[in-house]
Each structure stands twice: as structure tokens, then as C-alpha cells.
Structure 1
Amino acid sequence: MKVTQPSDPMMEPLNGKTDLSRFNNSWYNHGPRWRLVAWFLVNAFLVNTYLPLPAGIRIAILRLFGAKIGTGVMIKPAVNIKYPWLLRVGNYVWIGEKVWIDNLSEIVIGDNACLSQGAMLLTGNHDYSRATFDLVTRPIHLADGVWIGAKSVVCGGVQCASHSVLAVNSVATRPLEAYGIYQGNPAVFVRKRTINA
């Protein structure tokens, strides 16, 4: 069966093509191979699992692999963390089930922040304007009191200021201002967050 290109000129490429055979991320240093293999195994069996292990065990394992984690942190089952050595978590942080922390760059999570079920923090991306589809990594910073709603995505380079909220199933591609509630894809400001004593 022959596949034809669309006749609409708006749908046709203006120039160039992606060539993944030329992709090269050898510049990216994720650490020694032994640490990657060890983390892959430990993560699969003791962190990214539904085994009913106490959060303290998950935290101890993450610290063993270089994560900086404060006190009173709750890490639920089936959390997936790419590289613990690039993770800093403050005090009294909640990380819900199936959170995916894809930290090719450093991720910093402030005190009293909450990542709800299935939230994703994605520091990696690709330069789609280059034929080589180059890897691009940028850090993420969540300030104190930030709430990332269930199944929401925070993209690389985004800073979420103090007590900002990203609503359920939203995508943050730009900074979130302090005490702002954001919703949608891409997320836009909806209203101010008020916290009563």
C-alpha cells in the first residue's frame, strides 16, 4: 500500500528532515555505569514498586544513591525517579503514587510541596529544529508549598514559585507565579490561591 503525502501546502515540510541516525548525546554525563545498573535494579524492586514498604525504606535507599531528602517526607508506592543523585527534596513533602521524576537535570522540591498521583516532572526534551534532534536538559524548581495536581506535567526549565498550584491534568511550560492557580495545556493563570490559617 502506497502512502501519499498530503496535498495541502500547509501540511508539507518547509525544509529539512529529522535524521535520528545522527543523534548523539555522548556529551551527557549521567554518572558511572555501575551506579546506573545498581540504581536500575534497586529502583525496580524497592522504589518503583507496589510492595507495601514503609516510606522510610524508600527514602533511605534514595539517600544511599545520593538524593538529598529532608524530614517528614512521604513517598508513596510506584514512584519512578530517573537519577536520585540529581534530586533535592525539602521537609514534609508528599510524593504520590506513580509520580515520574525524569530528572536528567537537577530537580529541587521545596518544603511542604505536594506531587499528586501520576504527576510528571520532565527535565529532558529535544531540539526539534535540528535534524539531529539534539537532547536538551533544563532543571526544574518547585518552591515551598507548591502543589502539582494529579497527572499534570511540569516541563524542563519551569520554576513554580511559592505555593503555586498546577491543576489536574495540566501542563506547565512557563513559570508559575507565587500563589497562582494554573490550569490547562498549556497552563494559564486562573485565580489566586488563598490559604486560611
Structure 2
Amino acid sequence: MKVDLSKYDNSWYNPGRGAIGRGIWYLVNAVFFISPFFPVSSLKVWLLRLFGAEIGQGVVIKPRVNIKYPWHLKVGDYSWIGEEVWIDNLSKVTIGSHCCLSQGAMLLCGNHDFTSKTFDLMVGEIVLEDGVWIGANAVVPGNTTCGSHSVLTVQSVASGRLESCWIYRGNPAEKMKPRAITH
């Protein structure tokens, strides 16, 4: 089956900045974030704020983090963004305070409608409430909210709403057991 992509039209989507602003961010992201040679979190936080992100105090951003559009990003206090995390925020991503995104975690706001002949773009917001832990290589797609202190374990895929104080595992992630917080 041959698909006519000439009808593919995502002109409705607005990335929030023009081509020049996105191009400058692309270069800054490549040099200071994706690169392993700039491990200084305070510089990264300053750059994110310069480009419109809302970043709380005490945020740690490890090397090789890829952030699509900082102007769609909000991070609360004392959150940790681990190595090789990919925040593909075509839409708003809100990360609460005291959250942890482990190595290789992916927050993916965009997807495509595979039922459409033109494979149209679909975007949705992501919300990680306070105290959320996203495990290594786990995936959080758009239109997902992880309730406060929920955990998405290693290589799991979230969808919809994860309830507060529960541990989720698998693809699709299933509720496994309550998260016991002792202190």
C-alpha cells in the first residue's frame, strides 16, 4: 500500500519559538547538555532558565541529557535528571520537587497517529508530581500523569495515570505494590 504523504499537514503545531530560537537552542543543547564534557549542573540550570524553563533550586542535571524545548519545561526543587535522559517535550513537561529520572529515561510528549494515512502528529503533556521516580530506560509518553511518590521501574512504559505511592512495572506498566516510605 502506497501512502500519499503530500497531505501530511501538522501546521497546527506550534513549537513555541521560531526557527532561529530553536536553532540556537539546538546548538546550546548539543554543546552543553548532550555532550559529556560539561558536567556542571549550575551552568545547565542557568541556560535552561535563559531559554524559558522554570527550574527550582538544587536541581541536578547530569551529562548527556537531551532536552527538546526548554520553554516547555518546569522542574521543581531538588530533582535529579540522570545521564542520557531524553525529554522530548513537544508539549509541557512538569517535573515536581524531589523527583528522580534515572539513566536513559525518556519523557516523550509526541507520537504519531498510526491509524491515519498521513501519520499525523499527536502531542500530550506529561506531569510527574512530587517525589516520583522514573527508573532507568523507562518511558513516559504524552498524556501521562505520575502521581506523587509513584515509581515506574526499570524499562517499564507508563500510560494514563499512575496512582500516588504505588510501584508500577512492565509494558504496559501495571500496578505492583504500594511504595513504602519509611522516613
Q: TM-score band, normalised by the shorter chain?
A: over 0.9
CA distance in 1, matches of 2:3, 2:162: 32
1:50 aligned to 2:36? yes
1:169-184 equivalent positions in 2, closer than 5 A: 169-184=155-170
Q: Which of 4, 13, 20 matches 1:28? A: 13
User: How many angstroms apart in 2 are the aligned matches of 1:34 and 1:73?
Assistant: 28
Cα distance in 2, alignment partners of residues 100 and 84 from structure 1: 12
User: Offset of 1:74 from its aligned partner?
Assistant: 0.3
Check 1:19–1:188 CA distance in 2 against 1; reply closer, same or farther (3 A cut): farther
* Residues 152-171 of structure 1 aligned to structure 2 (within 5 Å): 152-171=138-157
Q: Bigger shift: 123-132 or 63-72? A: 123-132
**1:195 alignment counterpart:** 181
Amino acid at match of 2:77: N
Say which SS state the counterpart of residue 181 (structure 1) adopts.
strand
| Shift in Å, 1:18 | 4.5
Report the counterpart of residue 142 of structure 1 in structure 2. Answer: 128
> Amino acid of the residue matched to residue 67 of structure 2?
I
Structure 1 consecutive aligned stretches of length 4 or more whose deviation exceeds 2 Å: 16-22
Tell me which amino acid in the other structure corresponds to 1:150.
A
CA distance in 1, matches of 2:104, 2:5: 30
Q: How many residues align?
A: 182
What is the identity, as a one-letter code, of the residue corresponding to 1:92? Y
Q: Provide the rounded CA distance (Å) in 2 between the counterparts of 1:104 and 1:24.
A: 16
In the TM superposition, residue 24 of structure 1 has moved relative to its aligned partner by 1.5
Provide the TM-score with structure 1 as the length reference: 0.89
Correspondence list, 1:1-197, <5 A: 18-30=3-15, 31-197=17-183
In structure 2, distance between residues paired with 1:19 and 1:93: 45
Judge conservation of contact 2:156–2:173 (CA < 8 Å) in 1. Answer: yes
For 2:82 and 2:8, locate their aligned partners in 1 and report how far apart those are by CA, in whole Å.
Answer: 34
The residue aligned with 1:13 is none
Deviation, structure 1 residue 65: 0.5
Question: What do residues 5-30 of structure 1 show as CA deviations (whole Å, max 9, x unaligned)?
Answer: xxxxxxxxxxx875433222111111
Q: Is contact 1:161-1:179 (8 Å) kept?
A: yes
| AA at the equivalent of 1:120 | M
- TM-score, normalised relative to structure 2: 0.96
Distance 2:94 2:153 in 1: 20
Q: Secondary structure at the match of 1:71?
A: coil
Quote the RMSD (CA, aligned, Å). Answer: 1.2
Q: Alpha-carbon deviation of 1:50?
A: 0.1
Question: Identity across aligned pairs (percent)?
Answer: 55
